[in-house]
Chains A and B, each alone.
Chain A
Amino acid sequence: MASLDIANVKKAYGDVEVIRDVSIGVPDGAFVVLVGPSGCGKSTLLRMIAGLEDISGGTISIGGKVINEVEPKNRDIAMVFQNYALYPHMTIAENMGFSLRLAGRPKPEIAQRVEDAARILGLSDYLGRYPKQLSGGQRQRVAMGRAIVRNPQVFLFDEPLSNLDAKLRVQMRAELKELHARLKTTMIYVTHDQIEAMTMADFIVVMRDGVVEQMGAPLALYDTPSNLFVAGFIGSPAMNQLPGRLVADENGSRFVGAGDIAWPLETSIRTDRPVTLGIRPEHLVPAPDGQGVPARIKLIEQTGSETYVIAHFGETPIVALFRQRLPLAIGDTISLTLAPGAAHLFDTETGQRLTA
């Protein structure tokens, strides 16, 4: 186990900078998820930690020791690849024990450590098989087993669940979390799926275009996104973003936007600049007629436990989420208001969160 420190790290391919001055401190034993859209540099950063990509600037340290120039095999890390990268010509046991074999460990020790890892992952019955004889989920477990066997200081995961079907993904998510609880080893996990990030992480790092947009605990990111990108990226369905203005008079503050939106807000923020109101779908609540803002329902999606309503305020589309079942139909008008204290305000031009 060790802490991981990324300080002012840069990565450039020629003139193209893909990682720009990224600094992340990962405490010992934490489960950190790097999340962001494709091309944001999260996988590159992970590969730099692994030693598969050179570091153009800054330092990466594991357990206080700078590893910029350390060979990948001497970094004491293990990586799980998106496509598992299992050796197809080796049995599961050989796959898992390959690193120990290369390190010249005695055979009984290799066998013992492979068996231990296999037991943790429920692979004991498959040790003699070849990767192609296993299902996707089992292969995924073998890839993790190969990492566990090495007993590394840091685990790196590069979108490990993206090749699995939805149901298996949920199951493996729980298993990984459980594994982390058991091993208590530092884990860095890369994904583009914010649900994975939210459910698994102790600590989320949201990246875009090679820059860290925000980092923090999952719920902190959800509750107080620091800019419009994070607000839109974290949470599913995404946060509604309504452009408008903030009007303050003797009656208090109001948000006024397109489509006759006018909601009273309890905020001490004062600004003349254009603002964007961020409102999570579950924070739009039905109001008695005449009190909220009327919206015309365009689509209703039922998941059983929840109802998603896509409606329009004039021309502005919004998504609302109701946990109760309401007698709604497409074409109806529903009057919506904001749950108290649920509004997020952003500067429309800079995209930054406005604070009092």
Chain B
Amino acid sequence: MLKRRRWIFSLVAILPVLAIFAYVRVYPIGEILRLSLHKWDILSREKPFIGLANFQELFGDSLFRTALFNTSIIAFGVLIITLPLALVLAALIHHRTRSRFASFYETTIFIPHVVSLVPAAMAWKWIFDARLGPLNAVLSVFGIPPQAWLFDPVLSIVSIIVLCSWQALGFAVLIYLVGFKNLPKSLFEASKLDGASGIQQFWFVAVPLLKPITLYVSVATLVSAFNVYAQVYVLASDAQGAPGRQVRVLVLDMLENTFRNYRVGYAASEAVVLLVIVLILTAIQFSLLREKGTR
């Protein structure tokens, strides 16, 4: 009797949260899945079911393919830069934990993560500016000719990767720092006695033990990088100044399909493809980084 009452109480207690979660998280996903199988122009009452026609069209759509390609390059680029850099930076900061500048280092690295996207991107737009930007000025000191960072098709993607990594780094370092602080000290002492140098301790002890953290950081970084939008929109305008066109990304493509072309169902199918890609990548990361010894 008591058990049953407790069960009912628990259920009632979590029901509001569950309801909100279902409404803002689960329902939209379900709705996207449903919409992706329909044709809808936002205004009409008709939403005819068209099966997988949206998906069939997607794979012939060169704009979508470009967007998917660009987004993937950006996402993996960000991951490849952020992950090792964050790990090394966190190790250095952790190594200097007793320094009185420790909190300064942590704050400095974390600030980019808190700064609003658009102003940060504006600042970087200035840095990358071909004529006035400090980046080209610095390069010219070394005799490298000025580059059109934001207009060259390859360099503009590189610039976006740099900007996104700069933003993602603070969060990744913070999470890694927590990881470092939780590693048992005795393991480092034991490895010191075993003859490991600082770098060997990092490589043979810290890196493997931080695998769960690496898993979390890589999933979080990749997922957020796949949703790249504002950075591209601000940073990369095309030759006529149309924002976001220089480097087309998936979120921009979805937005355009929804609100410019009024093809909501089609955009939903893009979202579904993005969801599937992220799910598959997450699954791969989980299997790659699963802890040894637990199998």
Contact = CB atoms under 8 A, between A and B. Distances in A.
A133 B186 contact: no
Given A81-B189, A102-B200, A89 B194 contact: no
A51 B195 CA distance: 12
A83 B184 contact: yes
A51 B237 CA distance: 60
A88 B190 CA distance: 12
B119 interface: no
Contact of A79 (B184, B190, B200, B209): B190
Nearest to B293: A130
SS of B interface (majority): helix
Nearest to B186: A85
A77 B209 contact: no
Contact of A89 (B186, B193, B208): B208
Contact of A98 (B194, B292, B293, B294): B194
- Chain B interface size band reads 20 to 34
Contact of A83 (B186, B204, B294): B186
Contacts of A78: 193
- Chain A interface size band reads 20 to 34
A130 B186 contact: no
Given A88-B293, A130-B293, A99 B195 contact: yes
A200 B196 CA distance: 32
Interface string A71-94: 011000111011101011100000
A133 B293 contact: yes
A77 B192 CA distance: 11
A52 interface: yes
A72 B193 contact: yes
B208 A85 contact: no
Interface in B180-233: 184, 186-187, 189-196, 200, 204-205, 208-209, 211
Contacts of A98: 191, 194, 196, 204
A52 B205 contact: no
Contacts of B186: 81-83, 85
A89 B292 contact: yes
B97 to A, nearest CB: 17
A132 interface: yes
Contacts of B291: 89
Interface of A: 50-52, 72-73, 77-79, 81-83, 85, 87-89, 98-99, 102-103, 130-133, 146, 150
Give 5 nearest A-B pairs by CB, closest first.
Answer: A130-B293, A73-B195, A99-B194, A85-B190, A85-B186
11 contacts: A50-B193, A79-B193, A81-B189, A85-B186, A98-B196, A99-B193, A99-B194, A102-B196, A102-B204, A130-B292, A146-B194
Given A73-B196, A146-B194, 4 more contacts: A72-B192, A73-B193, A79-B193, A98-B196
